[in-house]
Amino acid sequence: MSFEKIPGNEKIKNQLRSYLRLNKIPNSMIFSGPAGCLKYEFARTFVKALNCLNLEDDSCDCCQNCLQIDTENFIDLISIKPDGQQYRKYQIDQLNDLARMMPSISKFRVFILQQAHQMNESAANAFLKTLEEPSLRNIFILLSENVAMIIPTIRSRCYHLRFTTLPYQILYQNFLLAKYNPQEARILALYQIYGENFSLLNFKQLVTLRKNAISFLNAIFSRQSLDDRLLELYDRSANREQFLEYFMALVQMIIFFLRDILIMKINGANSNTIINFDLSDDLLKIAKNVNISWVLSKISSLNQILEYCQKNMNLRRLMLQFITSLISLGAEDGTYFFS
């Protein structure tokens, strides 16, 4: 999308375009703001405009450079995201090595770091060294939903552009324009606004994750074994890290569904604040069999599981904890499905 077409955050748009016109481009910038404010789209459009063969301060979206950037085949644009939960030192070492070399074809090499706040201390310190000796030929764009978690020494070396989120209606229209059907567009718009934990997933990954999460929830209520499902997920993962990453996303998605179940219990099944409206038949079936304190206790134990994951708890114990916390009753009056 060009700056002309990209919606919202007009002030930032004008600022970026004036950097391009005046040829005064900061070496490092932070784009911060909630999920759904199109930070990545802005960063990509900026790189296109920087390299566009037809326009000076916008992208034409049809020249060779614009097209290559759109399909992520542009050699001087390096877009990276955390390997698992965090950036690892090896990723920053690779970035630093590249930053020491001249760009291949462009005037600048641009690095876009998604979820830049998810950097452990050694990675952040390694990155800081490169920021401290900026080459005029590198531009770093750090995207973050939680800028307070970026270490102050990195923050102070970057121009900080604060984005605000877009209204639902605009997001929805954008997804329709991007050829999603109305139901998909509605889900994507709602996930952009409320589902920041899932912002790194593409639509296909999001669909699969939701399918898995709802089948886990359904399995509890049809008394199917959760062990087998977990084992199957484990077998499909390349290694422990990959499994853990997926497992955490799954737990976050189950919490997301429980939030909707809670809303159904409080506001009724047709509340317009239900996010996963397309799954409301499944969610309603569960809602009818549980009470509010059950839902709250599940949300709290699942959040605890996420904490255990961060603390790198033994995998077997983690799974056991997950299974027992999901199938246990967890409320005093216990007049629901398992009683």
Chain residues binding Zn ion by CB under 5 A are 52, 54, 60, 63, 66
Q: Over the range 228-254, which residues count as b (16 or more CB within 10 Å of their CB) and which as e?
A: ebbeebbeeeeeeeebbbbbbbbbbbb
Q: How far is the CB of 59 from Zn ion (least distance, A)?
A: 5
Q: Tell me whether residue 54 or residue 146 sits nearer to Zn ion (CB atom).
A: 54
Q: How far is the CB of 74 from Zn ion (least distance, A)?
A: 11
Q: Tell me whether residue 68 or residue 297 sits nearer to Zn ion (CB atom).
A: 68
- What lies within 8 Å, CB to CB, of 194 at 6+ separation is 275
Q: Tell me whether residue 69 or residue 209 sits nearer to Zn ion (CB atom).
A: 69
> Which class for 44: exposed (0-12), middle (13-18), buried (19 or more C-beta within 10 A)?
buried
Structure-token match 């952009």, residue found: 192
Nearest to 292 by CA among 261, 337, 323: 261
Q: How far is the CB of 72 from Zn ion (least distance, A)?
A: 16
Cβ proximity of 323 and 277 under 8 Å: no
Nearest to 141 by CA among 118, 102, 109: 109
Q: Tell me whether residue 50 or residue 116 sits nearer to Zn ion (CB atom).
A: 50
Q: How far is the CB of 54 from Zn ion (least distance, A)?
A: 5
- Sheet arrangement for strand 138-144: 77-80, 109-113, 138-144, 28-32, 159-162
Q: Tell me whether residue 66 or residue 190 sits nearer to Zn ion (CB atom).
A: 66
- What lies within 8 Å, CB to CB, of 135 at 6+ separation is 27, 99, 100
Q: Tell me whether residue 60 or residue 176 sits nearer to Zn ion (CB atom).
A: 60
Q: What is the DSSP letter of 87?
A: B
Q: How far is the CB of 6 from Zn ion (least distance, A)?
A: 15
Q: How far is the CB of 154 from Zn ion (least distance, A)?
A: 31
Q: Tell me whether residue 46 or residue 294 sits nearer to Zn ion (CB atom).
A: 46
Q: How far is the CB of 63 from Zn ion (least distance, A)?
A: 3
